[in-house]
Amino acid sequence: MIKNKTQIFFLLFVICVCGNIHAQKKPNIILLFADDAGYNDFGFQGSKEMITPNLDQLAKKSVRFKQAYVTDPTCGPSRAGLLTGKYQQRYGYEENNVPGYMSAVSAQDNEEMGIPVSEKTIGDYMKKIGYTTAFYGKWHVGGADRFHPTKRGFDEFYGFRGGARDYFAYKKLPKDRLNWLEEGFGNYKEHDGYLTDVLADQTINFIEKNKTKPFFAFVSFNAVHTPMDAKEEDLKKFPNLKGKRKEVAAMTLALDRACGRIVEKLKELGLEDNTVIVFTNDNGGPTDKNASINTPLSGTKSNHLEGGIRVPFIMKLPKQMKASTTYDYPVSTFDLLPTFYAMGGGNVEEVKNIDGVDLLPYVKGENVNRPHESLFWRKDGRGAIRKGDWKLIRFPDRPAQLFNIVEDEKELYDVSSEHPELFRAMYKELFEWELTLERPRWMLKKSYEKYDIDRMDKYWNKGQEKSDFNTKKDIKN
Ligand code: CA
């Protein structure tokens, strides 16, 4: 009898210990990151034209964030914010890409243009808590050697340092090596095949190689950024589309296939239930460049309308982390750093001086407050603040405007004259936030602003001249 009891206790002890070990096993983390994709351009976001079965399937198993923002409506600064978990302007990374007309000199000459080496990245933090880390694809946060991903917290790198490149191997290499394909550090070698597929191959190899230990892969696709390179077989899937729209659809199909293959590999290795998978995008679609569609939102890449800064964002959690299927309050991609760090067993309290928060308590319903009372954006004189349901945008060429984003997500009704006190308070709060920022380390010529503003107006309210509207009564529905 006693012997049996002992056996039972021993069995229970083993079950508890094993169960505990299982519960504490660090989840793997895969960040699937698109470039310049339209807010609407995925099946799970409502598109009827795009074919994205793999991402749609992933979305069904994920928390879908309905108001997810990036820290900037352009590539480089948005990535800097995500990588460091904070507003990039705090270290002088203004809302400007590293300017192409200067980077044409050489990657080495852009000494100041990148995330300062004094900043820690998400890769640094994940390594600190025992993760093997990899970065694949587009980097675009500093071309000089000291800004290289392998020196910024990533054990492995396969991709390019710059902001855009051909999807097929260059037949003739450009003079500037910023966008040459590079494996590890300084090993330049053009790839075979289509880059979106190749980045999935790299990720799959990495998963295979590290299947027994916790890993973090940042898969930074350049899809669907220009140039509009698509595979013939993918183009054929869209007989009813034409021109750039057909090309962006084919490029998105390839992106979906790549994401699907990565998820399939996790399944095959039995890792899916213990892997966090996030899919999101770096900034709103530049409709005039790649025929992406941001509806129902107004605006595009490079402006502060919702279509520039609000992105598709889904997070598939490991089996043991139960959460709601949608999340409504505004979040930011800079929340990923503390969220991943906490999921990996790190103590977020130790991550000093960031703006992001661990999202898990919010999506699990343990914290019912907003993750952020206010969110901010700035580029030179332009700026925006989201506070509660409200958003104020400050323009370079006209008075600021105020919108209620929950009632008016298309930003058609400027209600600043109806809420003068709120308008003033938010304008002031934006300024107070700016007082905490570093001076910009580099800036674009002011003339570049015109293109951004023209594009904003062109894609605001489907091309109507928004600047003439003042109040609701001026709008004819
Ligand atoms: Ca981009």
> ω into residue 296 within 30 of 0, thus cis?
yes
Q: What pLDDT, on a 0 to 100 scale, did the predictor assign at position 176?
A: 83
- What distance in angstroms lies between residue 458's CA and the mean position of ligand 1's atoms? 19
Is residue 111 exposed (0-12), middle (13-18) or buried (19+ Cβ within 10 Å)?
A: exposed
Q: Which tokens is 148 given?
A: 């290289």
Which residue in 203, 247, 234 sits closest to 221, CA to CA? 203
- What distance in angstroms lies between residue 108's CA and the mean position of ligand 1's atoms? 23
- What distance in angstroms lies between residue 380's CA and the mean position of ligand 1's atoms? 19
Chain length of the chain: 477
pTM for the whole structure: 0.91
Task: Output the CA angle 19-20-26, nearest 5 degrees.
Answer: 110
Q: What pLDDT, on a 0 to 100 scale, did the predictor assign at position 352?
A: 87
Which residues have CB less than 5 Å away from ligand 1 (the ion)?
35-36, 75, 282-283
- What distance in angstroms lies between residue 275's CA and the mean position of ligand 1's atoms? 26
Q: What pLDDT, on a 0 to 100 scale, did the predictor assign at position 465?
A: 40
Residue 294 phi, psi dihedral angles, 5° rounding: -105, 5
Q: What pLDDT, on a 0 to 100 scale, did the predictor assign at position 446?
A: 81
- What distance in angstroms lies between residue 349's CA and the mean position of ligand 1's atoms? 31
Residue 45 phi, psi dihedral angles, 5° rounding: -100, 0
Alpha helices in 69-158 (DSSP H): 75-84, 100-103, 122-128
Q: What pLDDT, on a 0 to 100 scale, did the predictor assign at position 385?
A: 98
* Contact indicator for 367, 361 with CB cutoff of 8 Å: yes
- What distance in angstroms lies between residue 151's CA and the mean position of ligand 1's atoms? 23
- What distance in angstroms lies between residue 301's CA and the mean position of ligand 1's atoms? 8
* Contact indicator for 331, 372 with CB cutoff of 8 Å: yes
Q: Which tokens is 114 given?
A: 């990148």
Q: Which tokens is 252 given?
A: 């998105």
* Contact indicator for 144, 107 with CB cutoff of 8 Å: yes
- What distance in angstroms lies between residue 103's CA and the mean position of ligand 1's atoms? 17
Q: What is the chain's pLDDT, residue by residue, as a tens digit (477 residues)?
A: 445 555 655 555 444 444 444 445 899 999 999 999 999 999 999 999 999 999 999 999 999 999 999 999 999 999 999 999 999 999 999 766 655 544 433 444 455 689 999 999 999 999 999 999 999 999 999 998 999 999 999 999 999 999 999 999 999 999 888 999 999 999 999 999 999 999 999 999 999 999 999 999 999 999 999 999 999 999 999 999 999 999 999 999 999 999 999 999 999 999 999 999 999 999 999 999 999 999 999 999 999 999 999 999 999 999 888 877 999 999 999 999 999 999 999 999 999 899 999 999 999 999 999 999 999 999 989 999 999 999 999 999 999 999 999 999 999 999 999 999 999 999 999 999 999 999 888 777 788 899 999 999 999 975 444 434 444 444 333
